[in-house]
Structure 1
């Protein structure tokens, strides 16, 4: 008797499941990427405003100007927390972004950063 080799590969059902999972991942990713891009723009605008501004009113005004140019709509200058620490101005912000997935399901992303932090 000849030995039968075991077949390897994906079945049709597993291929369909894989396609559905990749499709869902693409849909969620296409909604998350603009949010992350806006967060990076906000961080850049806050850093620019903190280095070019003087008092809190000037920092908020500089941020609002950058926000207009960079199409930042999530936060404004009034949402910035401006503090002094050891003679250094620290500008921080925090906000939540809700992304509707389906039905009652939402994805909540919490963004926060400050001019003194090095990461997200």
Structure 2
């Protein structure tokens, strides 16, 4: 006598409910990604702009002006030249900036991203609250 599988045990895979659940989760992650990725791209542009501004200027005002020129061409909206913290060091200036981006999700829920960028060695990062 041959031992076989029952008709129910032979059918395996996702049910319609399981498939819809997976699709909903993937869609939510995609929407979240579409909201977060532009802020990360802007952060990268800000980091690049403060390094370029530091190298282009010899005074705090020149550094701010250089950053402002780059800001208009790099589509940087979160930070202005006045937001830069410029500190005199032994070999020039260190430029840093810190700002928050608030991303509205659903109703009262939102995501707050804290961004920090600096030209000082070993100090730059980003955190999520």
| TM-score normalised by structure 2 residue count | 0.86
Determine the structure 1 residue equivalent to 2:53.
Answer: 49
Q: Would the aligned equivalents of 2:58 and 2:92 in 1 still touch at CA under 8 Å?
A: no
The answer as to 2:86 corresponding to 1:85 is: no
Determine the structure 1 residue equivalent to 2:17.
Answer: 13
Instruction: State the Cα RMSD in Å.
Output: 1.6
Determine the structure 2 residue equivalent to 1:2.
Answer: 3
Give unmatched runs, 5+ long, in structure 2: none
Kindly tell me the number of residue pairs found equivalent between the two proteins.
120
Instruction: From the CA coordinates, give the structure whose radius of gyration is larger.
Output: 2
Q: CA deviation at 1:85?
A: 2.6
Give unmatched runs, 5+ long, in structure 1: none
| TM-score normalised by structure 1 residue count | 0.92
Determine the structure 1 residue equivalent to 2:62.
Answer: 58
2:28 is paired with a residue whose SS is helix
Structure 2 CA distance, aligned partners of 1:96 and 1:62? 22
Q: CA deviation at 1:113?
A: 1.2
Determine the structure 1 residue equivalent to 2:32.
Answer: 28
Name segments (4+ residues, structure 1) moved above 6 Å. Answer: none
